[in-house]
Structure formats: structure tokens, C-alpha cells
Amino acid sequence: MKTIRLDEYAPLVGAEEIAEIRALAACLGSVSLQHINSTSQGGGVAEILSWLVPLMQDVGIDARWTVIEGSAEFFEVTKAFHNALHGMSVEITPEMFALFREVGEQNLRKVDGQADFIVVHDPQPLGLIAAKRQGGATKWIWRCHIDLSEADLRVWGFLRTYVERFDAAVFHLPEYAKELPIDQFILPPAIDPLSEKNRELDPSEVQAVLERFGIDPEKPIVLQVSRFDRLKDPVGVLEAFRLVRRSHECQLILAGGSAADDPEGAQVLAEVRERAEKLPDVHILDLPPTSHREINALQRAAAVVVQKSIREGFGLVVTEAMWKGKPVVGSAVGGIRRQIIHGVTGFLAHTVEGTAFRIRQLLSHPELAAQMGWAAREYVRTNFLLTQYLKNWLLLLLTVKHPWRGSKQWAVFAA
């Protein structure tokens, strides 16, 4: 795991902010923490943990990151659960619940029973709560990165029996939370501005990436970066681009890949390629999860960035594009609504036609696009950088370690 030093971010956020974070960590004292999730590469959770864990280590927390193991069949089950939790109609069988329990039991050996805190990310590792000891000192926290507002009642009812055994649950947004008998916290995610995906790039680096993928740097680029997942609606992006092409000479890039715990990616990619065959100037880039520099360059080269999700946890790809000073046209769903201030930091859209209209508006008015891009970068700098996220985590851990007595806790940790 890479080494990250908190002091490196002082030029971006100020020395006082760095000092405040270290003071909070000192209040927490010498503690150990284990993060557990289902994949080490691909998707926002793995990306967040890749910098959050070393940053926690830098401020004095004995933090580590563990990934559960599971068969392809298990990840097909958890993908079905994922879709159902987002409100999709999915066939769920008793055998799926049985396999979920079985894999949870097989991974219990991965739990560090001596840790002061265990943070379980998303539904896949929920079964590990069986390792919690009655009256034990370890505090168990469930970190949910998905939108549960329209969750299938059967799947949520099953998973809820696990969640209720935790000491606390953490959600991106208030509307994602559920009625639970445990403490709940709201903590939006963030990006690392110095990572390979978000650092400043020399124009020659951007040019080299475009040349490698055969992309014309002179023709305006409309870009969506996301996993090839139906919930990201890449087919809808193709349809919006078809409408835009009627009046604007431009090109579309759909860039992304798949995560190890998402077995549907290859099928969705094949469908997208088939749909794109009849459209000119479409580049479909199936990238490995380590393509951070390439994503960075594509976002910096884009004239307009799109995120046409049907459901979205938070949408860090929107945050990344905004940090690079790009106007984003995003669906009015999930955390995208908390990032895009309509008409200020970008545009929110509800339909394919609305998405196409806003793309055309930005392509036709580059001065408006530039103004929105500046506002977008400032909004991210103030609210969604990793220093703020680390500070919120420290506040959360302090609150869980020293709970208020007499009532259930509800707290919002946001800039």
C-alpha cells in the first residue's frame, strides 16, 4: 500500500486544517482499526480505502485493510442484492440467502478480534458481524456506500438482521438511512486531489493519452467515466449523444471497466458496443482498474462530462470531474444532487432529452462551461477533499468511542 502524508495537503487546505486534524487524532489516542470490504480494485470503495487507510496510519491509527474471499456464485448473489437494494426487480431465492450466510462464515477468520474498531463496507461482508463478541470492547461500524431509499423489502429485511447487530451505521446522505435501533451517521465521501487520478497533468501528458486511444483532440469531447453497469445507463448516454450529434460535431467517450465483485460488467459492455456500432465518433474504452492517469487525462480533455446514472450512491466520478474544472451534466439522483448545484456547478437532468439539451447548451456556450467549471472546482475544494473526509472520520470514531448516554445518536459529519 502506498505511503501518504497528511502534510502534503497543506498547500491545498492550509496548515491550520492539518493541525486541527492531528489534534483530533491525538484526542482519539492509540487505537487500532480494521476496514473490511469485498474487492481491492475497481469501484469507489476500494479507491477511497487506498488513501484513507494510509492517511489514518499517518495520524497515528493502527489501521489495516482486509478483503473477503468469495466464489463467482457469491458475487453474482451480492450483485443481485446490490441491484435489489437500488430498487430493481430481481429474482431472489432462499438459496441465495443461504450462500450469503455460508460465505460470511467462511470469512470469519479474517476478523481481527483485538481491533478497537471494525468497519465493514457495504452488504457483501455483513455476515462477519457473527464474530462480534457479546460485551466485547470492539466497536463495529457498517459503512454503507449505496442508496437504500428504494430498497427491495425482502433483501433489506434479510440484511437488516445483520446491520442491527452493529454499534453504528454510516451513510452518504440522510435519505439513504433506515430506521435502525443503532447510532447512525451521515458522512459524504471525498477524493484525493494528489492521487494519480486527480493530480495536475501537463498538457503533453493529456495529448499522449488521447493519441494512444486514437481520439481527435480538436473535436469537442463528451465523456462519461463509470463501470459498465446498467445503473450507470451507458445506453442512455449513447442515445443522448445521438441527439446532440444532430446539431454539434463532437465525439463521445465511454470509459470504464468492471470491479472484481461485479460479474455483470462484461455483458453490459457487449450490449454497449453493439448499440454504438451505428453511431459515428464513439470511443468505448474498457480500461483496467489501475488506469488512473488515463482517466485523469480524459477528464481534463473533455468539454462536457456526463453522469447519467439511474441510481447512484454518491458519484465520486462527478467529484473528480468537478475538481478538474469541468461542467457536469448529471442525473438528478443520489449524491449527484448534492454535488451539482443546478445552473451553478453544472446541470441536473431527468431524461435522455434533457441530458442532450444541457450538453448542447454547454457546447454552444464555452464561457458558461468555463464559469461552471470554476465554481465546481471551488465547491469540491471546500467540501469533498480527503482532508475533510479524514477529519469527519476522526469525529465519528470519537463519537462512537465516547457515546452520549441515554439515547440513540444521529449525527451529520459534512463540510
Taking only the tens place, the pLDDT of each residue in 308-338 is 999 888 889 999 999 999 999 999 998 899 9
Structural domain count, the chain: 2
Longest dimension (CA), the chain: 66
Is 269 a member of any domain? yes
215 and 360 in a single domain? The answer is yes
Q: Is the pLDDT of residue 89 over 70?
A: yes
288 and 390 in a single domain? The answer is no
Collapsing DSSP to helix, strand or coil, 56 comes out as helix
> How many angstroms from the chain centroid is the CA of residue 61?
23
pLDDT tens digit sequence for 9-38 = 999 999 999 999 999 999 999 999 999 999
Is 197 a member of any domain? no
Helix (H) or strand (E) run with residue 412 in it = strand 410-412
Grid coordinates given for 93: 431465492
pLDDT tens digit sequence for 251-295 = 999 998 766 666 677 888 999 999 999 899 999 999 998 899 999
Is 1 a member of any domain? no
303 and 369 in a single domain? The answer is yes
- For the chain, the C-alpha Rg in angstroms (whole number) is 21
CA distances from 379 to 38, 226, 231, 324, 383 (A): 31, 22, 26, 11, 6
Contact 24, 395 (CB under 8 A): yes
Q: What's the full length of the chain, in residues?
A: 415
Q: Which of 96-110, 247-261, 390-404 has the lowest mean pLDDT?
A: 247-261
Domain containing 230 equals 203-383
155 and 303 in a single domain? The answer is no
Is 246 a member of any domain? yes
Under DSSP, the state recorded for 289 is T
pLDDT tens digit sequence for 158-171 = 999 999 999 999 99
144 and 247 in a single domain? The answer is no
> How many angstroms from the chain centroid is the CA of residue 207?
27
d(CA 108, CA 21): 33
| Amino acid letter, residue 327 | P
Under DSSP, the state recorded for 231 is G
Helix (H) or strand (E) run with residue 284 in it = strand 282-286
> How many angstroms from the chain centroid is the CA of residue 299?
17
Is 196 a member of any domain? no
pTM of the model: 0.82
